[in-house]
Amino acid sequence: MAHVVIVGSGIAGLFAACRLADAGHHVTVATKKRTKDSSTNWAQGGIAAILDKTNEQGMEAHIQDTLRSGDGKCDERVVRSIIAEAGARILDLIQLGVEFEKEQDGTFAMAQEGGHSTKRIFHAKDATGKEIERALSVYATKHDRIQLRPNTLAIDLIQREHGDPSQGVAGVWCLDQQTQEVITLEADAVILATGGVGCLWKQTTNPSVATGDGLAMAYRTGACVDNLAFIQFHPTSLSAPGQRPFLISEALRGVGAVLLDDEGLASWQEACADAIDSHQEPPAPDGFSFTLNHSPDGSMATRDIVARAIDQQLKTSGKHHVYLVTSHLTDVPLTTKFPTISQRLKKDGLTLGVDPIPVVPAAHYMVGGVRVDDIGRAYQQLNDEPMPHLFAIGEVACTGMHGANRLASNSLLEAVVYANRVAQHLIDNPPEPYEGNHPAWRADGLDRLREHAPIIHDRASLVSTMTQEVGIVRSNQRLRRAQRRLELLNQEIDLIWKASLPSRAIVELRNLALIGHLVVNNALEQTENAGLHYNVDLIKDDMPE
């Protein structure tokens, strides 16, 4: 039986671990904080899927919505194959203990989010990720062939032949954050399931673990990375400066919440007051939304469009946020459907269903990642061949499904489908055990870092550069400025890295700075605007503003 190391403990990592362990393989899940500290745990929306395989029309509509959202850049073959598998994976999750919400008649309650033409999202109120993480962690914890290893920060992949990516990998060096020692996790195969890189931006919906570790490790080992220019900003995170970021799920817009700017809010409130005075029905807020200037779908347009619309509105008005209004949704049991959001708003003295919610866009999802084939194998930079024994699944991977802009609630779907495929591949083709030596970590002559101040300063400067220069709307000048700064920053970080023993701060900074640089380079390589990449210097005359 093989020994597989999985780095990351979100839906992708835990699902793959459960499948492999059920088939008799031994799995170590290395995760840098607690098992539940993953982006999955923070996901509110859900999983888009059609359960009934005979519902061809429903599946085709999901495919078309995904392709439309991806703005012509999806790999249609991949999209079709993932959506075809969706129902089976939902059943797997249910079997593993996930409880999706049901209607009173026992059928699954379906939600809708931006870019979806119909309700097709399996969810658990507004905390779907938490429910998935709960069920999978319970299953994995009980499994005697799964070792969950929290506080284990992956540093770098170990190549079977040092300097030769074609021979693949044989494990991972990790920092045991309890002992501060570097340990070697030996593996016949390594699966990266490390999530994204939202921490590169000041405002993000991601947890603090989202620092691009897996992506950076894979790149340094010689794996291909694709589509990093496409960073998805979620249109609606709570605007609460100085506080932990908080997502306001798109599912709220799915039940009718509408985005208004100050002017639209004032006009709508005035129109409502007039209507009440003349004993008429108050108007819906939809017609007052600035988002209609950008898409006939208004607040329910795809994320790239809505986030850009808000960004433009904020830049034009000089305000700090726009509003999501819900007070017209008197027929919807908002606090029952969205208990997490309702409770969080209360902390700021806001009542869901009453007060306008101040929102801003925030970095949310990395569409690109480690390029993988249909079974999740990473490719080599050198020759475009699969890299032996290295797999990537979930947000860290780029399968081709999301194109230039991910459709809401397609990410947990893609993650579970590819986790299943990698596991099945390893079950059908157990990797031959690695009999060679595992080289020790290069610890000779290294000192503990005496001063952390430069690292903290460098991270702040990196985040500030990415936020200012590599946001929702880009320009060549700003991207080049970011490129120069990041080049210098990477050189400085490399000097510290080569001279010191690793700490979480330096490991994360090294990864963030590398990925920041790759994002900028890829953004400068784009020759047209599509989906989430929008460079004012690429605007064609016939392109809507």
Catalytically annotated residues:
303
Task: Give the nearest distance from C-beta 44 to ligand SIN in angstroms.
Answer: 4
Shortest Cβ 508–ligand SIN spacing (Å): 23
Name the residue nearer to ligand SIN (CB basis): 4 or 363.
363
Distance CA 117, CA 127 (A): 22
Distance CA 4, CA 424 (A): 13
Per-residue CA distances from 537 to 238, 294, 543 (Å): 31, 19, 12
Give the separation between CA 168 and CA 521, rounded to whole angstroms. 26
CB 192 → ligand SIN: shortest distance, Å? 20
Nearer to ligand SIN, 325 or 455 (CB): 325
Residue closer to ligand SIN, measured from CB, 89 or 389: 89
Which residues lie across from 317 on neighbouring strands? none
Q: Rank residues 249 and 380 by Cβ distance to ligand SIN and give the closer one.
A: 249
Closer residue to ligand SIN in complex, CB, 411/522:
411
Spatial strand order in the sheet of 121-122: 47-48, 121-122, 110-111
* Nearest-approach distance from CB 250 to ligand SIN, in angstroms: 3
Beta partners for 171? 158, 186
Return residues touching ligand SIN (CB under 6 A): 43-45, 113, 247, 249-251, 408-409, 411
With tokens 């005359």, the residue in question is: 541
For ligand SIN, the closer of residues 372 and 415 by Cβ is 415
At residue 26, the 3 state secondary structure works out as strand
Q: What phi, psi does 14 have (nearest 5°)?
A: -70, -35
Distance between CA 40 and CA 411 in Å, rounded?
A: 10
CB of 133 to ligand SIN, least distance (A): 15
CB of 73 to ligand SIN, least distance (A): 18
**200-238 core/surface letters (b: 16 or more CB in 10 A; e: else):** bbebbbbbebbbbbbbbbbbebbbbbbbbbbbbbbbbbb
8 A C-beta contact, residue 371 and residue 158: no
* 349 three-state secondary structure: coil
